[in-house]
Amino acid sequence: ICNVSTFPASPPPLATMCYCDEFCDRGEHGDCCPDYEEVCLGMTTPVPPGRLERCVHKNRYFTPFDPPVVDNCNTCKCNIDGTVTCTDDVCLVDDDLLRQLHHLERSIGWKAGNYSEWWGRKYDEGKVLRLGTFQPKIPVKAMKRLSNRGGPLPSHFDAADHWPRLVGEARDQGWCGSSWALSTTTMASDRFAILSKGREQVQLAPQQLLACVRRQQACSGGHLDTAWQYLRRVGVVNDECYPYIAAKNQCKINDGDTLVSANCELPANVNRTAMYRMGPAYSLNNETDIMTEIKERGTVQAILRVYRDFFSYQNGIYRHSAAATPAEERSAYHSVRLIGWGEERVGYDMVKYWIAVNSWGTWWGENGRFRILRGTNECEIESYVLASNPYVHQHVQTVRNVGDLQELIVGTGYVPHPSRQRPYPPHSRG
């Protein structure tokens, strides 16, 4: 406040102390210090055009009156003294990271790519909007794990080759942290197709989970156990009936609805009116159990801890690299489908890997897939692996082997895990 004489103005002319006092401001007869208006009133005098300093940032010239320059996910402004001030956010991908990954390519065993989809995005955006699975809570991690009984396993297995046209391709979740919903419905879709012998090939609707599952955060993430509980209790419709929009919208499905009451088109090849429901989700114990489950019953769901370098994966067998600095190692969790495994000689070593399907579209990775080290719990990929079995239409007949016993399931509608001696009772609806 200028009438309180507590702030000396500067610089004082002729060694005279100046104060912010309105008494000096008497128009042309005033005796204020030269910087009175700037210091006391906050007024600035425009710099004459001839004195403007030009700024340069990465070979781009601009002035203080130009809009800020965009530098990947950051913006830079030109100051009046010719200096440049930029924001300092960690970008999802940048030239330094790619250079480091290219330099490490031979030692890490995979190749990085520069995806235009990531350019201009902050790493924090990618973690929230391109992932979307919350770390399991301790009680969920302790859920019952089932062990598989099976014979010898091949060195290579790909569910998409074993069951042609019954395993879905990679979908693209867009800029919505919905991997919890995409990985759940795509795995469930695979199992409906596989365990019904192709009679019920359906693409289930992740949008219904985004809109209707309570206690989840839609595009900001969700828990897998809650998603599976919803599929068991309520069920979902197909994707055509509830199209994916990569955003939360109003739920249009009520508990107890059927495909008819939800105004969905009924499937042509089976007489289904009930929602597509799944049995209880179960966790798998170890590498061998996961492999046996995939080979015998179809794709499974896994949680993956994601670091910044994973976004740049293009091909090869992924392992987390040391390319990013510790400040950038703020990881987050994601969920994907495991559809098979294999091994490949890299240098003098035989390297085992999982085949996984991501939810970033077919433009990313190996046509939407990636391979990741197997047997070492790389990025926690083997810590929390889930499977569930569908309530297939009651007239579909499914043959399975339980030890030496061949069992024919007809009319129950549920395909149980081999460790369960009797199938669940038929679903009462539809």
Domains and CATH numbers, the chain: 8-40 (no CATH), 49-86 (no CATH), 96-387 (3.90.70.10)
* Alpha carbons 55 and 68: distance in angstroms, whole number: 11
* Alpha carbons 257 and 334: distance in angstroms, whole number: 30
pTM: 0.79
What are 247-257's pLDDT values in tens digits? 999 999 999 99
What are 335-373's pLDDT values in tens digits? 999 999 999 998 888 999 999 999 999 999 999 999 999
User: 130 φ, ψ to 5°?
Assistant: -115, 0
Tokens of 148: 């598989």
Alpha-helical (H) ranges within 83-122 are 95-108
Alpha-helical (H) ranges within 9-129 are 36-40, 95-108, 123-129
Whether the upstream peptide bond of residue 64 has omega within 30° of 0, thus cis, is no
* Alpha carbons 354 and 349: distance in angstroms, whole number: 16
What are 212-267's pLDDT values in tens digits? 998 788 999 999 999 999 999 999 999 999 999 999 999 999 999 999 999 999 99
